[in-house]
Structure 1
C-alpha cells in the first residue's frame, strides 16, 4: 500500500516539478486580534532567504545480539527562499551539488521532500511526504574493523514517508505557534500551551525494483560486511501504517525583548499494521501498538530592519517486530533571515 501511494505522489509531484527538491507550503489565518502577549502582522509581506537541511533515516536494533544498524542518506544542503502574506505561504529550496569526494565517501541520494502546513491561532496541521533513494551504513565499525574512508553503500535502498498530524492549542489567547514557526506574528511575552491532537503515517523501506536482481538482496546490511552480520538482520523490506493520538506542551521564552526560544514536545501512541519481508522474500504481518515522538525547536531575533531564525523538526517512531526495533525518522533544519514589507493595498 505504501509503495503504491509513494509512486502515485512521486508521479504527481513530478508532473508539477519546477526543478526543486524541497517544497514547503503554509496556510495561516488572517486575524486582527491584538493582545498583550502577541501581535499579528498578516497584512505585511514576509520574505525569507536561507538554508535547509532535510533527512530521512532508519535505525534497526537486534535485541538478541544487541546490535544496532544506522542508515542515512547522503547529506545535502539546500538554498532557497519563501514568502508569507496573509493566509498564504510558499517556500522553495534547491539542493546544492555534492562534491566528488562526498559522492565517493557516502554515495549519492536522489530525494523529493515536500511539506504542507496550516496554522491558525487555535489549530495546527502538518503534512509531509519524503521519498529518498541511496543510503549508506553510518556505523560499520560497530560490526567489524572498518578502516576504509568510504562507508558501506546501498545505492538502491529506498525509503519513503507520508504523514499528517493535527493538534489543538489550549492557551491560544496568550500563545502563538505562528510566532515561532511562521514569523508573521511576534510573541511579546513568554507563554506556553498544552496541545493535543492525532496523526496518521505510512513508512516504507526496501529496494528499488527493476535496477538489479532482487533475489540477491537478503538484508539491509551491505554485502561489504561479514555474512554473520547480514544474517543477524533478516529484514530486507518493511511497510508500516499507524494512527494514534498525541499530546504535549509548547513554550516560547522571550528575553531581551528581541529574542525568543521555543520548545515543543509531543509524544504519541497508537495502533500499527506492519508487514516485514525477510531474506527469502516471505512476509509476516503484525498489528500492535506503536509509539512516536515529535520534537520542534525554534529560536529567533526580531530586529527593527530584519529578522532571523532557526527551526528544527524531528519525528521518530518505534516499531517492534519479533527481536527487532525498527525506528524510521525524519528531520528538517532551517536557518534564515527575513524582512517584512508594507504592501500598498491599492496595488
Structure 2
C-alpha cells in the first residue's frame, strides 16, 4: 500500500492485555463481550513556526478529512477502520492534503504504550491572507510535508482502580472516581521538508528561519503526569490526562547555505480528554487526544512545533458474540 496517494485514510490497531487484578469496586471489565463502535473522527498534524514577541506565529495546517468509521474490541485486540467520504468533505479552498496516520496503542492494567507514525503532505497557512496578497484566500503549500515517528511509555501507579480502557477503548466501565500518577518517557524523530523556504517570501524579512527549507530532529527524555476520571451517578464520566516530558534533542536545519545543528532541551506534552455516558451495554462519548512536540533549531530562539490531535464522537454497544463468531475469535481467549 503506497503512503502518499492515500487521502484521508485511517487505520488503528490497539492491543490491550486482559484484565489484571482490577478492583471490582471501581472497574467492571467486559472481557467476554464484543465491543462494537461507530464513530466520526478528524485527525491532524500541524506545524507552527514561532515568531518573536511582536511577530505572529506561522501556523501551517493540513486539510484533513472528517472520517466515518467502525471498529470493535474483543479481549486483547481492537481494530478501527475509517475513511473520509467525499459527501462529508467539501472544503476545497485549503488545498489538498495527502496523509496516512498510523497509531498503535497498548493498554495493560499498569502500562500505557503509544506508537505513532504520521505522514502528511500539503498544508495551508492560517488565517486567510497571511503569506499572500489576497485576503480572501489561504496561502497553500502542496510541497510542504512532514514525517513523524514516536514512542511514549508510561506506568500507571494506580492501575487497579483507574482504567484508560474505560475512557479510550470502551471495553471497561469506571464506576467510581479514581486517578493515577503516570511515570515514563518518550522518544521522537521526524522531519519537515519543502521544495523552497518554509517561510513565505512576503514574510521572510520578519522571521529568522527565513532560509530554512528542511528540518530533521530526534529527541528523547523522561516524563510524568496524572490521569483522573470523575464519575457522576455511576454512568456519567469525565476523564482528563496529561503528561509532561523534558526531552534532550538534536536538530539539523537545511538551507541554501548548508546545514546547522542544535542540541537543546524542549518541553513536550500529551493530553487526553473524554466525557460521556457508560453502562454495561451502551457507551457514548466525545474525546480529544493531543500531542505537542517542540524542536529548537540553530537559526532562531523560537521553536518549531508539531501538534498532533484527534477529535472523535463515538457510539458503542457491547454484546456477546454468537457461536460462529465465537469460534473465529476464540484464539484471543485466555488459555
| TM-score between the two structures when normalised by the length of structure 1 | 0.85
Q: Which residue of 2 aligns with 1:97?
A: 86
1:313 aligns with 2:289: yes
Q: Give distance in 2, aligned partners of 1:65 and 1:274.
A: 25
1:109 aligns with 2:89: no
- Contact kept, 8 Å, 1:143 with 1:229, in 2: the verdict is no
Map of 1:36-115 to 2, 5 A cutoff? 36-63=25-52, 66-97=55-86, 102-103=91-92, 105-115=93-103
**Which of 136, 143, 147 matches 1:156?**
143
Map of 1:234-273 to 2, 5 A cutoff? 234-273=211-250
Change (3 A) 1:269 1:32: closer
Change (3 A) 1:152 1:118: same
- Contact kept, 8 Å, 2:10 with 2:82, in 1: the verdict is yes
Aligned length in residues: 321
Please report how far the alpha carbon of residue 139 of structure 1 lies from its aligned counterpart in structure 2 after TM superposition.
3.0
Please report how far the alpha carbon of residue 226 of structure 1 lies from its aligned counterpart in structure 2 after TM superposition.
5.1
C-alpha root-mean-square deviation of aligned residues, in Å?
2.5
Q: Which residue of 2 aligns with 1:120?
A: 108
Please report how far the alpha carbon of residue 58 of structure 1 lies from its aligned counterpart in structure 2 after TM superposition.
0.6
1:174 aligns with 2:161: yes
Q: Which residue of 2 aligns with 1:165?
A: 152
Cα offsets for 1:206-253 (capped at 9, x unmatched) = 12xxxxxx4xx2x21335x35535776332110111111110000000
Instruction: After superposing the two structures, state which structure 1 stretch, 54-63 or 225-234, moved more.
Output: 225-234
Q: Which residue of 2 aligns with 1:233?
A: 210
Change (3 A) 1:244 1:123: same
| TM-score between the two structures when normalised by the length of structure 2 | 0.88
Q: Which residue of 1 aligns with 2:330?
A: none
Instruction: After superposing the two structures, state which structure 1 stretch, 171-180 or 18-27, moved more.
Output: 18-27
Change (3 A) 1:99 1:302: closer
1:329 aligns with 2:307: yes
Change (3 A) 1:304 1:172: closer
Change (3 A) 1:145 1:188: same
Q: Give distance in 1, aligned partners of 2:87 and 2:219.
A: 35
1:283 aligns with 2:259: yes
- Contact kept, 8 Å, 1:221 with 1:229, in 2: the verdict is no
Q: Which residue of 2 aligns with 1:28?
A: 16
Q: Give distance in 2, aligned partners of 1:270 and 1:124.
A: 19
**Which of 121, 133, 152 matches 2:121?**
133
Change (3 A) 1:226 1:170: closer
Q: Give distance in 2, aligned partners of 1:93 and 1:100.
A: 14
* Unpaired runs of at least 5, structure 1: 1-12, 208-213
Change (3 A) 1:146 1:323: farther
